[in-house]
Amino acid sequence: MIREIRLYGDAVLRRTAKPISDISEEVVRLAEDMTETMFARRGIGLAAPQVGESTSLAVVDLSLGDEKGRTLVLINPEVVGQEGEWTYEEGCLSIPEVRADVVRPKKVAVRFLDIDGNPHELEAEDLLARVILHEVDHLKGVLFVDRLPPLKRQILRPKLLKIAKGEIPSER
Ligand code: ZN
């Protein structure tokens, strides 16, 4: 089921997501719905708070759903290492019509559980590392615009306020 995307200004996006202690049917369904929603919106990552669930779950798929079986389901992801730095333009399904260059580590090591509860430690770099870091940020209530230099944030402020007021709809 495709779920509604919560937009900038929604309090759920600012909460710290709760760790998952039991991978219940509800969690499995949430992961499926999030994957479906991400594909429908042509996103490459989605975190549970973006669909209104303050729970530590994110999905990532750089193939946009074009390649089967590529979706990474991250339960309770934790960054355990990072290296380097690079700048790249980011956007977010929760912040329509806003894109900006964000500095992030080039490589990342992340620990997480998969949907079957198996623990993994994954090393990723470039775009995959970036998307994972963007989603882990969501689970801490952090949005990519928080990582911009103050001046850039100030320039975006009117647009962000418009989104918060519901004057800019979700991108289709
Ligand atoms: Zn996002």
pLDDT attached to residue 121: 98
The question of whether 123 is a catalytic residue gets the answer no
Separation of CA 146 and ligand 1 centre (Å): 12
Separation of CA 92 and ligand 1 centre (Å): 4
Question: Could you say which of 4, 135, 167, 171 is catalytic?
Answer: 135
Q: Token pair for residue 91?
A: 């956007």
What angle is formed at CA 118 by the lines to CA 64 and CA 115, rounded to 5 degrees?
40
pLDDT attached to residue 74: 98
Separation of CA 6 and ligand 1 centre (Å): 10
The model's pTM: 0.96
Mean pLDDT (10-residue bins), the chain, 172 residues:
97 98 98 97 97 98 86 98 97 96 98 98 98 98 97 96 90 64
Beta strands in 9-154 (DSSP E): 45-47, 57-60, 72-83, 86-90, 100-104, 107-113, 119-125
pLDDT digits (tens, 9 = 90+) for 115-156: 999 999 999 999 999 999 999 999 999 999 999 999 999 999
CB-side neighbour CA atoms (13 Å) of 170: 17
pLDDT attached to residue 64: 83
Torsion of CA 140, 144, 150, 153, to 10 degrees: -120
Q: CA-to-CA distance for 105 and 172, rounded, in angstroms? A: 30
- Total residue count of the chain as it appears in this document: 172
What stretches of 16-170 show up as alpha helix (H) in DSSP? 25-40, 126-139, 150-164
- Contact criterion met (CB below 8 Å) for 52 and 16: no
Separation of CA 91 and ligand 1 centre (Å): 7
Domains of the chain in sequence order: 11-164 (3.90.45.10)
Separation of CA 138 and ligand 1 centre (Å): 7
